[in-house]
């Protein structure tokens, strides 16, 4: 799963050869997600999997939420942020306009991805990669890091007992998780500053970003309802840059794009569901982003899709409690309410 990397850190203590030999894996132990097949799925190449995964995830999840809209089950109706008729009355784009715009953006992102991501050479493909050799290169870095953090005596004792496990875990889980976290950070940073620019520039908002804000009441399959130029710059290019800077393999990229697509759909689904993984794992969720789609929050909550770090640091974050206070203040001043009804702030629904 990992691309070849030079695992050397200068100016750190050297480990004796006996210890190094004892902590270097000598037989492959694969994690649950690994497969040595040239293709992760037999019916599609990894390259096309990376291109298709975000589209398939987008429409499968969108269809699921759309079926919930139609079914109007009591449990899920109680979790709606907006009443169902409000979607039809407040939104300024028809369903067909939304679908056409989303399909156009997905065509553009597929073309970009096709040329952006090269097909991996056979030496980088999971089927041919020498994982033991890669772990051998990594073992020196793991050993030096443990000794540096824990001290020479304690570090070498830990390495003697658990060195192989530490190297194996770092290779199969630690580095990939760091790559994904870094990719999330890159996507968030890219989208925050570009998204904010689309709001602060009157020209950019009027000619591009205002298209997305025709959906005052977001719904799942409208998540990528954008002007095609904005869709290319904000969503597609941001994910491509994150994939490149994080050094991901094609299979990792397929998962990154799928996760990003799922998160974007969920952020526009219209249901506050505490057990939804996208909502309980991330504070930046459907309720957080819905505030941005309302008149009182349009200059707040620019962060998307994963974390709220940039809103926190730069003072553009609005909580639901603050949003409710803004609504109450407007009502007291006799202004026509353009916001959603006040929602109770609870820890769990």
**DSSP of 74-100:** HHHHTTBSS-HHHHHHH--S-HHHHHH
Phi, psi of 44 (to 5 degrees): -150, 140
Digit-by-digit pLDDT tens for the chain (349 residues) are 555 445 554 555 567 777 877 888 888 788 998 888 888 999 999 999 999 999 999 999 999 999 998 899 999 999 998 876 655 577 888 889 999 999 999 999 999 999 988 766 554 566 668 888 889 889 889 988 998 889 888 988 899 889 999 999 999 999 999 999 999 999 999 999 999 999 999 999 999 999 998 888 888 899 999 999 999 999 999 999 999 999 999 999 999 999 999 999 999 999 999 999 999 999 999 999 999 988 888 899 999 999 999 999 999 999 988 888 876 776 666 554 444 444 443 334 4
Which tokens go with 45?
């190449």
Handedness of CA 46, 50, 56, 57 (dihedral sign): positive
Contacts with 96 (C-beta within 8 Å, 6 or more apart), sequence order: none
Helices 237-245 and 175-200: crossing angle, nearest 10°? 150
Task: Give the largest Cα separation in the chain, rounded.
Answer: 79
- Are 53 and 254 in contact, with CB atoms under 8 Å apart? yes
């Amino acid at each position: 799963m990992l691309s070849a990397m030079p695992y050397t850190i200068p100016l750190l203590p050297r480990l004796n050869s006996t210890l190094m030999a004892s902590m270097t894996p000598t037989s492959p132990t694969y994690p649950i997600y690994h497969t040595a097949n040239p293709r992760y799925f037999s019916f599609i190449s990894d390259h096309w999997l990376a291109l298709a995964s975000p589209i398939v995830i987008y429409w499968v999840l969108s269809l699921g939420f759309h079926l919930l809209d139609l079914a109007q089950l009591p449990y899920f109706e109680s979790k709606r942020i907006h009443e169902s008729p409000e979607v039809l009355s407040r939104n300024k784009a028809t369903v067909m306009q939304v679908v056409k715009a989303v399909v156009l953006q997905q065509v553009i992102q597929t073309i970009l991805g096709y040329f952006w991501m090269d097909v991996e050479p056979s030496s980088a493909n999971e089927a041919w990669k020498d994982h033991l050799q890669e772990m051998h290169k990594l073992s020196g870095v793991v050993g030096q890091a443990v000794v540096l953090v824990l001290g020479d005596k304690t570090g070498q004792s830990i390495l003697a007992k658990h060195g192989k496990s530490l190297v194996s875990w770092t290779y199969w889980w630690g580095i990939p998780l760091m790559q994904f976290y870094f990719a999330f950070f890159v996507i968030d940073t890219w989208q925050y500053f570009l998204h904010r620019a689309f709001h602060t520039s009157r020209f950019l908002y009027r000619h591009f970003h205002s298209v997305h804000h025709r959906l005052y009441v977001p719904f799942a399959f409208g998540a990528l309802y954008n002007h095609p130029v904005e869709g290319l710059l904000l969503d597609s290019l941001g994910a491509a840059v994150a994939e490149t800077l994080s050094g991901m393999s094609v299979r990792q990229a397929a998962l990154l794009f799928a996760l990003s697509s799922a998160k974007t759909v969920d952020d526009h689904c219209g249901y506050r569901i505490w057990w939804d993984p996208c909502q309980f794992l991330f504070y930046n969720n459907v309720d957080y982003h819905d505030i941005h789609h309302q008149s009182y929050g349009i200059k707040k909550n620019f962060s998307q899709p994963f974390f709220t770090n940039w809103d926190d640091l730069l003072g553009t974050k609005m909580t639901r409690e603050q949003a409710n206070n803004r609504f109450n203040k407007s009502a007291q001043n006799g202004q026509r309410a353009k916001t959603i009804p006040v929602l109770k702030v609870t820890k769990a629904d």
